[in-house]
Chain A
Amino acid sequence: MTAERDDAPLRVDAERDDALLRVDGLRVEFPVAGKRLRAVDDVSFAVHREETLAVVGESGCGKTTTAQAILRLVEPAAGRITFDGLDVLGLPRRRLQAVRRRMQLVFQDPFTSLNPRLPAGRILSEPLEIHRVGTRNERRARVHELLQMVGLDPAHATRLPHAFSGGQRQRLAIARALALEPELIVADEPVSALDVSVRAQVLNLLADLRERLHLTYVVIAHDLALVRQVSERVAVMYLGQIVEMSPTEDLFRAPGHPYTVALLSAVPVPDPEVEVHRERITLRGDVPSPIDPPGGCRFHPRCWLREQLGNPPECATTKPELSRRASLGGTHAAACHFTEEMHATARYRDTVSAVAAGHRTGPADVRVAEAD
């Protein structure tokens, strides 16, 4: 079932015809203790050419499984994935290889995703050899080019992964993903294993590469602060479903789902003046098991808004559709029965005013001072 309604168009995304990737009604199941765990349950979205879509959520929300399903690293139980007009799930093995080349995955952990026994140059030439790209000399030139592209010294092609720092290893992993000139990069938490001071380097590199190579990104992340910097649109997932889908800035200025508001409220801001005045929305309990998800709205047992509204019955009985709302500016969809009511609450206003500012104050710029 999709988010179809009389008052809302079929898809929650703008009906742009330049979608590189479309995911419709995706469902992924895993057998667990004789039951089926629906890790992803009826997820639909589109990714347009040369945009970055961020998929954000907490552990167990299905964001990584969604990424893996796009690349067919796990087989979906239902749904349709269309890449550049090609039906990915319907493709025979041979033709799947050709499509897979055009989409690549960058993993979270550059310490485990690179073969420790292969030197950097071999790590980069391997995909070229497998796909029989170029002559030996052409491949060598390509490796040189790839290393330069990600800001590594081509002279280090003979080094093994352990001789590189974490940030450099992630650069190498990105170079490997780029080797076959893909159009889509799916990056699963690309910087969360890195030290804080090198995260910005890698994020800036990804931004530069997107522009230079006209890439399209799906970035899987748990960090909303990062999402705000890197993406044009955001899908927020909770317990296997998308609960909100929005142009990035709209999500921070006027979130439409109480779970998104709780997430925004929970992210620490590195500014004690902001922190001291902030009132946090603390969610009760833990995320329920996806083996037996709550009925109605899946978020309802933990929802602060439902409690504040006096537990209206539809939250527990009726699944709210992910639909675009006029009250959310028409391009922004949220799966909540009470978005408008939420916007009238003080907790919503407090949370949003703490994060929406869009400007920052902070320490002085570092400048080289005049010699004393």
Chain B
Amino acid sequence: MTDGTELLLSIRDLSVEFRSGRAWQPAVRAVSHDVGVGERVGVVGESGSGKTASAMALLGLLPDNARVSGSVQFDGRDLVTLPERVLRTIRGNQASVIYQDPFSSLNPVLTIGRQVSEPLIAHRGMSAKQAGQRAAELLALVGVPRPKDRLKDYPHQFSGGMRQRVMIATALSTGPRFLIADEPTTALDVTVQAQILDVLREMTGVGGASMLLITHDLGIVAGIADRVAVMYAGRVVEAGPTRSLFASAAHPYTVALLQSLPRIDARERRLRAIEGQAPSPGELPRGCPFAVRCANRVDRCLQDDPPLMPIELARVAASRPDEARREVAALGDDGVPGPGRPHLAACWNPARPGAPV
């Protein structure tokens, strides 16, 4: 069941491993996730959480030392099994990526006009002239002043914020249905970040492209995402509609993350730190990977890695774990994060809603 939102992307049991010497290190561990048409989904996590690896795996953008398993249904095809040649067409036409660093992702020796028109010529069969016109329109759309003049300029003649606008224009040039934005504003100043988020908000959403926004910043997610998935140690540990997730965060990691953030609208006498650090993916402890840092830990957490469960179920699951697992399995797609799905958490002892912090 969904809320009527048509699905664009259906990810099942996606795992990613990276070769390190002779061993394979897991980076993403059996992630399932559905993304609706026109949905903006925030994927939040810290370094090593698997947020970037899981997103790049969708479009076959991982380096050669990566191994991917699972399935990614997109337009009736499984992207994981498609050959690179076909993936390249999909990346040019229907899916694009906006990277963190506009400095290294634009070609320094090509004019901006060339770079924005290139996908239009290659994938849309436009003439150079048509593509140039469309490129100017796209630059205007993302707020680059004097777009026609600026087509002749090179990346170094643009500021960081303007380069990121150009990247967005390039990513949007072929009218993709799916956009991955990987920390798109992390390299930018806060006032420029606000401008870029406005552009992304306008270019995605209902009637437009779906967006997977990968970020470590819960503040950005709060302002732009319809839905949020929180990742920790290669797993989605909590997922739900943005409002529900912020108002009644259930996974102790999400709660602790929210509490540890310095907030502009409050002064704390002391920040609530999360002690310790995330485990490295190669040395995962038995049980829940967050358990060693968790204030809510119960005995089961150290033995048994909890599955994603609707939060009402999670609150009672510790006393009857096998039954809870059967119930989760019976939920089918409803137990997978997606549009219109319940708020889920992978925890045997989730935080209780109630008292304001």
Contacts and interface: CB of A to CB of B under 8 A. Distances in A.
Interface stretch (B22-30, B53-61, B172-180, B244-252): B244-252
B191 A263 contact: yes
A284 to B, nearest CB: 9
A249 B221 CA distance: 26
Interface string B87-126: 0000000000000000000000000000000000000000
Interface string A229-250: 1100000000000000000110
B261 interface: yes
Interface residues of A, number: 66
Contacts of A200: 260-262, 271-274
A139 to B, nearest CB: 29
Task: State which size class the interface on B falls in.
Answer: 35 or more
A228 B262 contact: yes
Nearest to B266: A360
Nearest to A197: B274
Contact of B217 (A168, A263, A268): A268
A265 B265 CA distance: 11
Contact of B190 (A195, A222, A356): A222
Contact of B267 (A266, A267, A274, A358): A358
B191 A360 contact: no
B59 to A, nearest CB: 26
Contacts of B272: 200
Given A225-B264, A270-B261, A363-B246, A263 B353 contact: no
B309 to A, nearest CB: 15
B263 A270 contact: yes
A273 B243 contact: yes
A262 B194 CA distance: 10
Interface string B321-357: 0000000000000000000000000000101111111
A287 B161 CA distance: 10
Nearest to B260: A200
A352 to B, nearest CB: 10
Given A200-B273, A229-B268, A280 B193 contact: no
A345 interface: no
A59 B262 contact: no
B318 interface: yes
A260 to B, nearest CB: 11
A95 interface: no
A226 interface: yes
Interface stretch (A43-51, A124-132, A201-209, A320-328): A201-209
A194 to B, nearest CB: 9
Contacts of A283: 191, 195
A280 B243 CA distance: 20
Contacts of B270: 204, 207
Interface stretch (A100-108, A329-337, A364-372): A364-372
A229 B275 contact: no
A153 to B, nearest CB: 13
Interface of A: 58-59, 165, 167-168, 195-201, 203-204, 207, 222-226, 228-230, 248-249, 252, 262-276, 278, 280, 282-283, 285-287, 354-369, 371-372
Given A195-B277, A356-B265, A363-B255, 16 more contacts: A168-B277, A196-B261, A197-B46, A223-B190, A223-B262, A230-B262, A270-B217, A270-B261, A273-B246, A280-B198, A361-B357, A364-B248, A364-B249, A364-B354, A368-B349, A369-B352
